[in-house]
Structure 1
Amino acid sequence: MSRIAVIGGTGYAGRHIVAEAAQRGHTVLVVARKAVSDRVEHAMYLEGSILDVPTLVTEMQGVEVVIVAVAARGDMAGMLRPAVAELAAELPPEVRLGVIGGAGGSRVSPDGPRLVHTPEFAEEYKPEALEALAILEDLETGAERDWFYVHPAGGFGPWNPGERTGSYRDGGPVLVVDPDGESMISGADLAVAVVDEIE
């Protein structure tokens, strides 16, 4: 079993990853900016922020995988990219790094543009999507460690919770859609995919 830290582990994606990993018997450390009363059984909780990388690295000693499940929106807009770069540079080299991005960084086809660069992509979500994409590009060009990055489906979020089916499709860099052109995954099934990747 792995020792996993989930930064942003009380948010939508993060709490599902925490629950799935704990249910499978992994040791899970939840990092959140505020204490919460609704906790996942068998997970440990730590108040902390990705904006304070030196303290986090010290407090996460012994973990084997760190997942960043923080969105580049609200007060994190413009702050997440440099924080993830600092984290990637400061974690011990044997620690695997995972980042949960957004659907906007997915390609529409293997050689096609990224979703965020298409005319249909909503303007209001572009800043968040572009920062998430920049984090991926930073990892691709500079991270000297084992890392992975997950683009959720287009219809991923608390407004579309769905249920756990235990299955998912991996499109690599391409957005996965069904025969009707819909792109959906529940929080629980995204967590299955992430924990499968860790294992």
Structure 2
Amino acid sequence: MKVAIIAANGKTGSLVLQECLKKGFEVTAFVRRAGTVTNPKVNVVVKDIASLSSADLSGFDAVVNCFGTWTSETLPLHKKYTAMLCDLLKGTSTRLIVVGGAGSLYVNKEHTVQLYQTPEFPKEYLEISTSQVEELAYLRTRSDVAWTFFSPAAVFDPEGKYTGSYTLGGEEFILNADGESYISYADYALALADEIENKKFVGKRFTAVGRK
């Protein structure tokens, strides 16, 4: 399995990289700065996401988009770069797996209310959530790309431990056995690498929760 990871030196990307290597995948890391990924088992390409071409992404079984940004001015880049990657991969068998957000998860069975629309949703995360809601909505318009959007739990913990287990969900907001919407970055990375291998959610969004 040949996998490309965009922003492979970030908090999420670096953990996804580790999990892919554990599975024996042939991994190529796309990074903006040289020296940020030094594992000798990884092919490294120093190139900004905005400069990628279809030739750069040719031949991969999966491309994982771990790009993330937080400022008001740059949040539109989530949708912009995902759209660009769709255009580069359209008509190919290469999967596009996007690291998404929890805000777009539905909180009712009718799928009329999303988490970011609820009164309890933290205002400080509203902008980033809205940008990723738009990103997912865009992906749903693309039938010419084998996309997958992976929403983490509401509490997405960069310092959380690796437990090696998780519970999968689909379009709806779910809780773990402790009644919490929680997953560590490490267990999220495991679930993502498993999805690359298992191909359960091609053309779909899914989510996962873990335990502390």
Aligned counterparts, 1:81-96, within 5 A: 81-91=79-89, 93-96=92-95
SS at match of 2:87: helix
Determine the structure 1 residue equivalent to 2:41.
42
Residues 1:183 and 2:181 are matched in the alignment: yes
Q: Deviations over 1:66-109 (max 9, x none)?
A: 01111242364212212211210122511111001011111223
State the number of aligned residues. 194
Structure 1 segments of 4+ aligned residues over 4 angstroms from their partners: none
Q: Which runs of 5+ in 2 are unaligned?
A: 198-212
Cα 1:72–1:134 shift into 2, 3 Å: farther
Q: How many angstroms does 1:128 deviate by?
A: 1.2
Out of 59, 63, 67, which is 2:64 matched to? Answer: 67
In structure 2, what is the Cα distance between the partners aligned to 1:111 and 1:128? 24
Tell me by how many angstroms 1:180 deviates. 4.6
Q: What is the alpha-carbon distance in structure 1 between the residues aligned to residue 40 and residue 160 of structure 2? A: 22
State the shift of 1:179 in Å: 4.8
User: CA 1:181–1:124 in 2, change beyond 3 Å: closer, same or farther?
Assistant: same
Give the superposition deviation at 1:131: 1.2
Report SS of the residue matched to 1:148: strand
* Pairwise CA RMSD: 1.9
Moved more, 127-136 or 173-182: 173-182
Q: Normalising by structure 2, what TM-score? A: 0.83
TM-score, structure 1 normalization? 0.88
Structure 1 unaligned blocks of 5 or more: none
**Relative to total residues, which structure has the larger helix share, 1 or 2?**
1
Q: Which residue of the partner structure matches residue 5 of structure 1?
A: 4
Q: Distance in 1 between matches of 2:57 and 2:86?
A: 13
Give CA-to-partner distance per residue, 1:17-72, whole Å, 9 cap, x none: 10000111101111122234453451222222222233xx3223221110111124
